[in-house]
Amino acid sequence: MKVAGRLSALAVFCALSVSAGVVFAQAKMPQGEFVCQVKDADGETRFVGIQASDLNRAQEIAQGKSKWAVPAGRELVECINPKTQTFKNRSAQKQYREDVR
């Protein structure tokens, strides 16, 4: 019985080690956080948060040119890094500030 108990403990340890390796082997998410103003197919303007490696990549995602794209039918208006940029259109910037609060 002692051997069976040790084998069970070893099996559990191996299973945990393998599953921990799978968790740590996953790709890191891009660190940049961007906000894109988009116009939906119904004409409604919305702000979409996008996590991407850079502004160009965020624009590609917002335009639907990526497999991690925003829903089809949306038109990209503008993307910004909210930490360092503001929307060019003042009313859009005001609306974004109001939506965030």
- The pLDDT tens digits for 79-101 are 999 999 999 999 999 999 998 76
pLDDT > 60? residue 5: no
CA distances for 82 relative to 27, 70, 96, 97, angstroms: 25, 19, 10, 10
Kindly state whether residue 10 falls inside one of the protein's structural domains.
no
Kindly state whether residue 23 falls inside one of the protein's structural domains.
no
Kindly state whether residue 7 falls inside one of the protein's structural domains.
no
Sign of the CA dihedral 101, 69, 32, 23? positive
Tens digits of per-residue pLDDT, 69-83?
666 678 899 999 999
The count of structural domains within the chain is: 1
How much of the chain, in percent, has pLDDT values that exceed 90? Answer: 37
Q: How much helix, strand and coil, in percent to the nearest 5, is found in the chain?
A: 40, 20, 35
Kindly state whether residue 19 falls inside one of the protein's structural domains.
no
pLDDT > 50? residue 66: yes
Domain hosting 44: range is 32-100
Tokens found for residue 27:
């790709």
Res 21: pLDDT: 47
Kindly state whether residue 68 falls inside one of the protein's structural domains.
yes
Kindly state whether residue 82 falls inside one of the protein's structural domains.
yes
- The pTM is what? 0.65
